[in-house]
Amino acid sequence: MEDTLTEEKDMDYSRALITILKGVVDKRTQPYIWNIIKDNQPRMEEYVARIGLLLYVDDNAGYAYVKQNDDDNLPRLVPRHQLSYGLSILLVQLRKCLGDFDASNGDSILVLSFEDIKLRLKPFYPAATNEAKFDNEVNRHIKKAVEMGFLSEIYGQADTYEVRELIRSFVTADWLQKFNERLQDYIDYGAKDSDQSDDDVLIG
């Protein structure tokens, strides 16, 4: 009986480890995996450190992920994400919205509609942009942000999204500063062809 329980615990540990190596673990949507990570946090930190990774767990926001230890001269295991012009602008605007929201709303969650997001992005696109094409592009970037864990859809409310705390860990002050330094280049690039990826825009 004891051997069976040990095997089950080892299997749970392996399952949680594989899950977090593949991406972000969210406490709200993956409570079972989250609890295994919390119960085994020191053991997991030691394991990932051996392969040049750092385990990051935010108890308040309820998410965990692994990131590359850039101090180690090792091949990169956690890939950087190449972001398109439009997705870069979206993440910057979401991060700024979250910062502005914090100042006046305490512990409440930030919820934005599709129209709210469109209004935030529109100044960064050419004035003559086709409206239908623009809507499709914004939708595409929103879906990507949801996949990355920066936005989550509000159940029962169409085209409405919660801005997740996770975005703070990825869109940092340093990232924003570098982005702002190149903002005019991004705007010029977007005016030329906003559908193509800018390989120099990296996050992760």
32, 37, 38, 42 alpha-carbon torsion, rounded to 10°: 160
- Give residue-wise pLDDT tens across range 95-108: 988 888 876 666 67
What confidence score (pLDDT) does residue 6 get?
74
Q: Which SS3 state, helix, strand or coil, does residue 67 take?
A: strand
Between CA 175 and CA 183, with CA 180 as vertex, the angle to 5 degrees is 125
Q: Of 41-45, 65-69, 94-98, 194-198, where does mean pLDDT reach its minimum?
A: 194-198
Q: Which run of H or of E encompasses 81?
A: strand 81-84
Average pLDDT, whole number, for the chain?
Answer: 82
- Give residue-wise pLDDT tens across range 114-147: 999 999 998 888 776 788 889 999 999 999 999 8
Q: What percent of the chain has pLDDT over 70?
A: 79
Q: Of 1-10, 35-44, 94-103, where does mean pLDDT reach its minimum?
A: 1-10
What confidence score (pLDDT) does residue 28 get?
86
